[in-house]
């Protein structure tokens, strides 16, 4: 009978190895522990290896690893793969280039492609990378191919940051509301019509699944407002978007404000949102307009996106009444889910100090 291999470590007995194997989530490591337990119990190398589904040489290799590293050495090791062709400093430079985006006059492209970045890397660092390697590097650096968000060319980032800093310390309510608690509400309108919206669906790769889309032009407007921190909202479905409709919505919002509190209503600068002219402001509401060309989606816009994607897309409305019914059902559905509004609409920078 061949002589058993020698285990020189004494921190675990055969029983201890079997217990460790029973508690391990790694099937391969557990099998190796059982093989080593057999060796400690006096089995020959070939017999112990056969009982654990390996050959004699493999068992010997695991004994050597166990002698050097203990139980931790019995787990499989992931290969680190080839050494990166670029240094961390060079990868950081590429990441910064991707963040800034290309200069059309200088780089000749309006968006970076992998082939463009491979050319830049070759020019800058004299390193040749395949397009797939460039893509793998970008994913490793945290980049993904994402849809862009529209940005107005006259947008003022400084004004937007000032606005964000203003909201949490908003302290200029009307005189009669100076001592009242403040609630922060967001308001917007969405037009829903017969031409409808098409949204993404699951389908077989390479196909282009059909979805119904009407060509008629009846529509209605959802006037919606949400208070994310209270997880509530107030909405009306109306045929027009004008000052008269806005007055009706303000009355509805006013009825939902906590008694004894004052609501700060954040909204865009649509003509029917201006305080001059026909707009009548309830005593428990003050308006705070967003800066021009505000680039961050307001919470109400995210509500519209959720409603369109999950309730109002890929369907036909036979009449104006059907549109109104669908809008009401969609709004009621989203508010029937506890914490759904809060999860969509809360912004870290948008809060009111007590």
Residue 70 forms part of a structural domain: yes
**Residue 171: is its pLDDT beyond 70?**
no
Q: Same domain, yes or no, for 195 and 93?
A: no
Q: Is residue 227 located within the same domain as residue 114?
A: no
314, part of any domain: yes
225/297 same-domain check: yes
The pTM score is: 0.56
Min mean pLDDT across 44-48, 220-224, 320-324 is at 44-48
Question: How many domains would you assign to the chain?
Answer: 3
Which residue has tokens 């967003």? 290
Is residue 350 situated within a structural domain? no
Q: Is the pLDDT of residue 131 over 60?
A: yes
Same domain, 61 and 117: no
Domain of 133? 88-140
| 170 and 122 within one domain | no
Check whether residue 185 and residue 210 sit in a common domain. Answer: yes
208: pLDDT strictly greater than 90: no
pLDDT tens digit string along 4-32? 468 888 889 999 999 999 999 999 999 99
Looking at the domain assignment, is residue 240 inside a domain? yes
Residues near 147 by beta carbon (within 8 Å), at least 6 away in sequence = none
- Indicate if 127 and 178 belong to the same structural domain: no
118 — pLDDT class (breaks 50, 70, 90)? very high
Name the residue with tokens 């059909």: 210
CATH number for the domain harbouring residue 295: 3.30.420.10
- Please check the confidence at residue 236 and state whether its pLDDT lies above 60: yes
User: Does 6 fall in a domain?
Assistant: no
Same domain, 120 and 237: no
Co-location of 131 and 98 in the same domain: yes
Percent of the chain whose predicted confidence (pLDDT) is above 70: 86
Is 4 within the bounds of a domain? no
Residue 60 and residue 37 share a domain: yes
The pLDDT value recorded for residue 316 is 84
At residue 354, the pLDDT reads 45
Q: Note whether residue 82 is domain-resident.
A: no
* Range from 219-228, 272-281, 287-296 carrying the lowest mean pLDDT: 287-296
Pick from 41-50, 183-192, 270-279, 316-325: least confident: 270-279
Question: Would residue 339 count as lying in a domain?
Answer: yes
Q: How confident is the model at residue 151 (pLDDT cuts 50, 70, 90)?
A: low
169 and 37 in a common domain: no
* 322 and 190 within one domain: yes
pLDDT tens string 307-347: 988 888 888 888 999 999 999 999 999 989 989 999 998 88
169 pLDDT more than 60: no
């Amino acid at each position: 009978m061949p002589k058993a291999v020698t285990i020189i470590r004494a921190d675990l007995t055969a029983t201890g190895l079997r217990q460790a194997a029973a508690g391990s989530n790694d099937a391969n490591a557990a099998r190796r522990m059982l093989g080593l337990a057999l060796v400690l119990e006096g089995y020959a190398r070939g017999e112990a290896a056969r009982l654990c589904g390996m050959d004699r040489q493999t068992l010997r290799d695991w004994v050597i690893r166990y002698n050097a590293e203990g139980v931790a050495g019995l787990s499989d090791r992931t290969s680190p793969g080839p050494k990166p062709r670029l240094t961390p400093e060079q990868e950081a430079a590429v990441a910064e280039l991707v963040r800034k985006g290309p200069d059309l006059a200088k780089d000749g492209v309006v968006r970076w492609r992998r082939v463009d970045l491979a050319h830049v890397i070759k020019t800058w660092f004299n390193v040749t990378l395949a397009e797939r390697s460039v893509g793998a590097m970008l994913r490793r650096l945290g980049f993904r191919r994402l849809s862009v968000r529209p940005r107005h060319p006259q947008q003022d980032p400084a004004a937007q940051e000032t606005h964000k800093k203003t909201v949490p310390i908003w302290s200029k309510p009307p005189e009669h509301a100076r001592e009242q608690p403040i609630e922060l509400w967001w308001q917007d309108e969405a037009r829903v019509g017969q031409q409808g919206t098409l949204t993404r669906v699951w389908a077989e790769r390479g196909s282009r699944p059909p979805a119904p889309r009407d060509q008629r032009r009846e529509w209605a407007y959802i006037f919606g407002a949400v208070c994310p921190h209270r997880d509530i909202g107030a909405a009306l479905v109306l045929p027009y978007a004008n000052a008269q409709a806005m007055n009706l919505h303000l009355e509805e919002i006013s009825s939902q404000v906590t008694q004894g509190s004052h609501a700060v209503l954040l909204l865009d600068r649509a003509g029917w949102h201006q305080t001059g002219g026909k707009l009548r402001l309830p005593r428990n509401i003050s308006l705070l307009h967003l800066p021009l060309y505000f680039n961050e989606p307001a919470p109400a816009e995210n509500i519209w996106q959720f409603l369109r994607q999950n309730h109002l897309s890929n369907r036909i409305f036979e009449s104006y009444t059907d549109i109104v019914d669908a809008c009401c059902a969609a709004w009621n559905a989203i508010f029937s889910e506890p914490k759904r509004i809060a999860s969509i609409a809360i912004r870290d920078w948008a809060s009111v100090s007590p």
